[in-house]
Homo-oligomer: A and B are copies of this chain.
Amino acid sequence: MTAERLVVIGGDAAGMSAASQARRLKGPGELEIVAFERGHFSSFSACGIPYWVGGQVAERDELIARTPAEHRARDIDLRMRTEVTEIDLAGGRVRSRELESGRQEWTGYDKLVIATGARPVRPPLPGIDAPGVFGVQTLDDGQALLDALSAAPGRRAVVVGAGYIGVEMAEALLNRGFEVTVVNRGAQPMATLDPDMGALVGAAMDGLGITTVNGTEVTAVLTGADGRARAVLAGDREFPADVVVLGLGVAPGTELARAAGLPLGSSGGLLTDLSMRVRGREEIWAGGDCVEVLDLVSGRERYVPLGTHANKHGQVIGANVGGGYGTFPGVVGTAVSKVCDLEIARTGLREKDAARVGLQFVPVTVESTGRAGYYPGARPMTVKMLAERRTGRLLGVQIVGREGAAKRVDVAAVALTAGMTVEAMTALDLGYAPPFSPVWDPVLIAARKAVAAVRATG
């Protein structure tokens, strides 16, 4: 029996998890694995880049979970700096190009995993490609930014965008001693939260010494006589910048899949079934930041690029490719972040998400603390909860606060997965001791208020 060949496009979390899991299930005599990665690094934590730039993580290599050599030692033929330029579905092969030598070749596959990740959103503005403008998607990006921070003529930084990457980079630049201005199109930071909760983040950022400029779209990066970025133009204002960081989020990196005619969703991500098999294709799987996933609360496909999902996808794909079985049922939309000591968390639907799919809801907001009020270090926490009108089904939770705020959202994530009502949530047996929670956990306080609100709404 000749070994089957698995080809993996993309050497990061989803692709290499899939390859590793498949290898665990099938040895090299049964399954040959060839993986292509166009970058310099495999299996690294993009989510860790802001903390490396900010100085909490000392060395770039700490962000690398597994090096190419480690993958190769496990009989995975990982070809670095080699870009796949075409998928030939009919021929069952991919064309690759070695970036250094320019050498091209075709490689046939029996099974194909597409894990091409995301590309940073980079609007076609004047000056956006000037020296001094940085993305933070790859370790090379991070190194370039770090080098620029050391060499910067002054200490003014402008971050474009106030989503997760934007606020995390604002913290990183603050830690590096920069004066930070965040320019943001929305009316408040964190468009992944409802506006009222985003406004709390904005107020806290101001308190941390970060200047937030909201409701203002960047129209150009202005350059100096040396061609380097010197300011950001937004509305009719110029924001001087010794360094400009783009934090506008990412979009699915599905150019190859699109060119091959594979099915893409409304966000441009690949569409798969629950086994992460690309719809309509027996021999192709896809996972990570290039796919759309089922939102279990709204019942719709969504684009949720996140390392933890990519790793799960990889496990599922590897199990299925390796002759086992696994599914990825979907997400509930959990995301946590922080800016300095402010923790930010969400799960489930925002008000506008619920309205979009025809769900009527009742929103409540409560203030509490992460520890018993009398216990030292008790800090405020705001919990917003959305419940469906009439049924009282939990639809979403957002939390903004200090210590203990972020991971509290996990309780709501599990409750959403289980389809709990807010009434059922009021009886949840959550851990209580004064250093860890008030006698009523903030999530329970919110649930109680939501029960009353659902009843009052009728």
Residues of B close to A337: CB separation below 8 A: 433
With CB as the reference atom, state the residue of chain B lying closest to A418. Answer: B418
- Choose one: B330, B332, B347, B428; the contact of A413 (CB below 8 Å): B428
Residues of B close to A376: CB separation below 8 A: 56-57
User: In the complex, are the beta carbons of A413 and B439 less than 8 A apart?
Assistant: no
User: In the complex, are the beta carbons of A431 and B414 less than 8 A apart?
Assistant: no
Give 3 nearest A-B pairs by CB, closest first. Answer: A418-B418, A336-B431, A308-B432
User: In the complex, are the beta carbons of A430 and B45 less than 8 A apart?
Assistant: no
Quick one: CB contact mask for A313-357 with B, threshold 8 Å, 1 for yes? Answer: 001000000000001111111111110000101010000000000
User: In the complex, are the beta carbons of A307 and B428 less than 8 A apart?
Assistant: no
**Interchain CA distance A413-B335 in the complex, whole Å:** 20
A62 lies within 8 A of chain B by Cβ = yes
**Interchain CA distance A414-B343 in the complex, whole Å:** 22
A311 lies within 8 A of chain B by Cβ = yes
Q: Give me the interface of A with B, judged by CB distance under 8 Å.
A: 13, 45, 47-48, 51, 56-57, 62-63, 164, 306-309, 311-312, 315, 327-338, 343, 345, 347, 372, 374-376, 404, 406-411, 413-415, 417-418, 420, 424, 426-437, 439-441, 448
Shortest Cβ distance from residue A331 to the other chain B in the assembled complex, whole angstroms: 5
**Interchain CA distance A351-B434 in the complex, whole Å:** 28
- Choose one: B338, B372, B427, B441; the contact of A48 (CB below 8 Å): B372
- Choose one: B406, B411, B420; the contact of A411 (CB below 8 Å): B411
Residues of B close to A434: CB separation below 8 A: 45, 47-48, 51
5 new A-B pairs (CB below 8 Å) besides A312-B426, A337-B433, A406-B436?
A56-B375, A57-B375, A308-B430, A334-B431, A417-B429
- Choose one: B62, B429, B435; the contact of A51 (CB below 8 Å): B435
**Interchain CA distance A86-B125 in the complex, whole Å:** 83
Shortest Cβ distance from residue A77 to the other chain B in the assembled complex, whole angstroms: 25
